[in-house]
Amino acid sequence: MTKFNLQHVVESQQFDRELIDVVFSVASQMKEDLSGSGQLRYSLAGKIMASLFYEPSTRTRFSFECAMRRLGGSVITTENAREFSSASKGESLHDTTRIMNGYADIIVMRHNEAGSAEKAAQVSNIPIINAGDGAGQHPTQALLDLFTIQDCFQGIEGLNIAMVGDLKYGRTVRSLSYLLTKFDNVKLYFVAPTVCQMENDIKAYLDKYQVPWFEETDFEKVLPEVDCVYMTRIQKERFNVYEDYVEAAGKYILGPENVRLMKENAIIMHPLPRVDEIPPAVDDDPRAQYFEQAQNGLYIRMALLYLLLHR
């Protein structure tokens, strides 16, 4: 097995094909163990994870904390680090990170500012995992997304993937775009309201690695062409101009009538939480993979915690 040589996980660009394969191999073993005997072949007994979440989270925070406990480790956490830690007194991220180095073996951090995880990593002697930094990146979400796609199609090469909704502020689609450049013959379709189209830095990165991408406004035109529809919510909390949010909200909804246009073996994904972009009526369609996608987050995060602490 290739050595896992990362000290921190702060952005998707850190992962090449070999590292992705390592993470997926260990995650698959975690999934097999938990789905079978329940006896894990890996352990983090005696290790402590600090959970520093400055923004709300359900799946990411709970899956990380569950992952650490499943592996036999312990968790120290606070409900809202921005309000209930010394950050409310003006303590800098630099100082908080240094302090946590004396208490924990690894830090999982969600912050409202893009680039915050990288700043923390620069002053940390223990691993930092970026659990979402503002509108920046969410690398562990991108890995679990890719893991889900691979599990459904037994590979990534040759797939057409549509990313729909808030592509400007959606850190999950940004991070996934970076990872998809590692695979051959992938095509990306960006379907977004004018006010939240994919940023030029991602488009330039895709061009650099010769990954074809297309911008479309006709949602129904794209649906029959793609193997994966990755829906995202319009992130109201990121908009500075309320009128822009109103313009974007509810523009693209994947209801049962739209799903009928999709390929029979296509899949529907969503990083969750959802608002109205996928009605519950779609949940029982066999192509809906978003709950399995969330479950896969547990296995990916178990794998990353173990690999970072046993490099």
d(CA 22, CA 18): 6
111 is catalytic: no
311 is catalytic: no
110 is catalytic: yes
8 is catalytic: no
287 is catalytic: no
d(CA 218, CA 251): 11
Listed residue (158, 159, 166) closest to 191, CA to CA: 166
Catalytic hit among 8, 31, 47, 60: 60
Catalytic hit among 31, 47, 119, 138: 138
Catalytic hit among 59, 203, 238, 287: 59
Q: Check the CA dihedral 129-64-236-284 and report its sign.
A: positive
Catalytic hit among 8, 110, 182, 270: 110
Q: Which residues are catalytic?
A: 59-60, 89, 110, 138
